[in-house]
Structure 1
Amino acid sequence: MSYRIRYTADARADLLRLYAFLLERDAPAARRALETLRKAAEMLESFPYTCRKVEPDNAYLRELVVSFGEAGYVALFEIEDERTVNILAVRHQREDDYH
């Protein structure tokens, strides 16, 4: 089964915010981070249920952990139906929570 990956407006804004933050410090790393996040999201096309649940009673709300450097990122997503995964938010692992 193949899922279609969609990004919400909030998730797109998160990606832009994270990119801009890293771009100020290290432009090549900023580009690598976006590519790493894109490749990780591709995994959701086939295996969204392998990611950890956010809430024990909700099988559809999950988090994708993406390693990058010494830390990484976490993408909050929801399995909408048997064909669609919506990425709701993205944050750096050192941030307190999703924005």
Structure 2
Amino acid sequence: MSFSVRFSEHAEADLIRLYQFILDRDASDLVLAERALDAIKNAIRSLETSPFSCRKAQADTPFFRELIIPFGASGYVALFEIEDANTVTVLALRHQREDDYH
């Protein structure tokens, strides 16, 4: 089974924000920003074939899940929804060290 993975507008904005955060810390760190973006994109590709292997975001809702994306000493988390038998939508992306990460 193969799923089509799409990004909500919010998730697209999160990608830009996370990328920009690295550059705002150090404008010369373009390589690190690109590596982080590649790590996220590569992990998201796994949702095309196995979104149900990710942990549930809420115990009582089997279709909202979280993908843990390792990167460096911590990493990122993608919240996504399995909408139907063909579609997965990435709803949000966060760094694990962000204040609002749970």
TM bin (shorter chain): over 0.9
Where does structure 2 lack aligned partners over 5 or more consecutive residues? none
Aligned length: 98
One-letter identity of the residue aligned with 1:23: L
Where does structure 1 lack aligned partners over 5 or more consecutive residues? none
The 2-side partners of 1:54 and 1:22 are apart by 26
Q: Which residue of 2 aligns with 1:82?
A: 85
Match of 2:48 among 45, 52, 63: 45
Q: Where in structure 2 are the equivalents of 1:1-99 lying within 5 Å?
A: 1-24=1-24, 25=26, 26-97=29-100
**Structure 1 moving runs of 4+ over 3 Å:** none
Say which SS state the counterpart of residue 69 (structure 2) adopts: strand
Q: TM-score, normalised by structure 2?
A: 0.93
Query: Over aligned residues, Cα RMSD in angstroms?
Result: 0.9
One-letter identity of the residue aligned with 1:18: L
Q: What percentage of residue pairs aligned between the two structures are identical?
A: 53
Q: Deviations over 1:20-73 (max 9, x none)?
A: 011232211100000110000000000000101011111000000000001100
The 1-side partners of 2:61 and 2:99 are apart by 22
